[in-house]
Structure 1
Amino acid sequence: MKNAIVSIAMGCVLAISASAYAEGDTENTHVASTSQTGADAKHSMSHGEVKKADTAAGKLTIKHGPLENLEMDAMTMVFKVKDPAMLSQVIVGDKIDFVAEEVDGALTVTELHKQ
């Protein structure tokens, strides 16, 4: 009887240990997947609509969807542009794909394509 109880207890311990080990592997896989997704998100395009182009200030106002690389929700905001020539490519109302990054503390459009 004593041996049966010890065997049951050991079985439970092994089952819990195996479960915890498997769960730990899943978390590590998830972390690797998340960091790869984060790297992809950094270079992924966001979508938006040009609301204003200020050539004198070198700024673009964009109503945009979520900016995954910056962890920002959809909103309308003003961005600097990396290259002032970008402003001549668009007019108010244009649908665009763009990449925005933080450059020297300012949110900046670093890549821009009309849809």
Structure 2
Amino acid sequence: MKSSTTILTSFAIALSFGSAAFAQEYTKGQIQKVDAAQKKLTIKHGELKNLEMPAMTMVFVVADEAMLEKVKEGQAIEFIADRVNGRITVTEIKK
């Protein structure tokens, strides 16, 4: 019984370290354009490490249409982007 407890504890610790490796970092950016009709944001951003992209200005789709109501042109944001269904998508925004 003791060995199974040790194995389960080791497994739980390994999982906690593994999930930390998948945590994504927020990237700083500035909203250049909000296109509500197309559900897109144009963002001038820093390096997107998880996508291996340098700093640039580009158009993103948003994962949730409600994000469009929370931002305006010229606003500084921090965001997370990822590939969703083959499209580079903003998945989280914090002001």
State TM-score, norm by structure 2: 0.77
Larger Rg: 1
Q: Which amino acid aligns with 2:85?
A: D
Q: Percent identity between the aligned chains?
A: 52
Does structure 1 residue 73 correspond to structure 2 residue 45?
no
- The answer for unaligned runs of 5 or more in structure 1 is 1-35
Q: Is 1:39 the equivalent of 2:21?
A: yes
1:15-94 aligned within 5 A: 39-40=21-22, 43-94=24-75
Give the aligned length: 77
**Deviation per residue, 1:40-63 (Å, 9 max, x gap):** 5x5110010000010010000000
Q: TM-score, normalised by structure 1?
A: 0.64
Structure 2: gaps (5+ residues): 1-17
Match for 1:113: what amino acid? K
Dislocated runs of 4+, deviation >4 Å: none
AA matched with 1:79: F
Between 1 and 2, higher relative CO (CA 8 Å, sep ≥ 6) is seen in: 2
